[in-house]
């Protein structure tokens, strides 16, 4: 897929806005938990991944390589091998992310509480076990994420 310059600019701005929002939320010092997906709220969950079954790394690895029905793409088609080599600079690296963050993001995409043209379609048919498995797999991979502390 080739993106036009305006589309790249819009995607870059959206990515920056998301990063800024996450950074501000992390620095807020609030003890209030993040907003939960509608499925979590309906079931009385108290944290983003509460109530999810235990995730299995091997099942997550297999699922990450399986083509989705909605888009015909697998997780690794867009996020790269083990989630470390996205095909586009606006796509996040998944490897080494917190399991809880990955699970919460997938739940929100699935439930329509977080929107992205591709991810919302990819996640809509995932069940809780699949979300837990994907979060376990990508969270267990060696990270190529870099901390920005100390960068001038």
Mean pLDDT of the chain: 77
The pLDDT value given to residue 27: 45
The pLDDT value given to residue 35: 45
Helix (H), strand (E) at residue 59: helix 57-64
Q: Which CATH number fits domain 36-140: 3.30.565.10, 1.10.760.10, 3.40.640.10, 1.20.120.160?
A: 1.10.760.10
- How distant, in Å, are the alpha carbons of 51, 67, 69, 112, 148 from that of 44? 9, 32, 30, 18, 36
Q: Where are the beta strands (DSSP E) in 1-152?
A: none
pLDDT digits (tens, 9 = 90+) for 25-80: 444 443 333 444 455 444 444 344 557 899 999 999 999 999 988 889 999 999 99
- 29 vs 143, which has greater pLDDT? 143
Q: Are 130 and 94 contacting, i.e. CB atoms less than 8 angstroms apart?
A: no
The pLDDT value given to residue 150: 66
The pLDDT value given to residue 10: 58
CA nearest neighbour of 53 among 117, 123, 147, 132: 132
Q: 107 — phi, psi (to 5°)?
A: -60, -45
pLDDT band, residue 131 (cuts 50/70/90): very high
């Amino acid at each position: 897929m080739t993106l036009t310059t305006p589309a790249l600019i819009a995607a870059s701005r959206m990515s920056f806005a998301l990063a800024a929002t996450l950074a501000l939320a992390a620095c807020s010092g609030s003890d209030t938990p993040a907003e939960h997906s509608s499925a979590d709220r309906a079931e009385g969950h108290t944290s983003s991944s509460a109530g999810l079954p235990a995730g299995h790394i091997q099942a997550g690895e297999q699922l990450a390589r399986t083509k989705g029905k909605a888009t015909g793409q697998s997780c690794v088609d867009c996020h790269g091998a083990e989630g470390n080599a996205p095909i586009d600079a606006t796509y996040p690296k998944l490897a080494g992310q917190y399991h809880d963050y990955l699970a919460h993001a997938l739940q929100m995409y699935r439930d329509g509480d977080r929107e992205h043209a591709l991810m919302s379609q990819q996640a809509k048919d995932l069940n809780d076990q699949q979300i837990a498995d994907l979060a376990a797999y990508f969270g267990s991979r060696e990270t190529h994420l870099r901390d920005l502390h100390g960068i001038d």
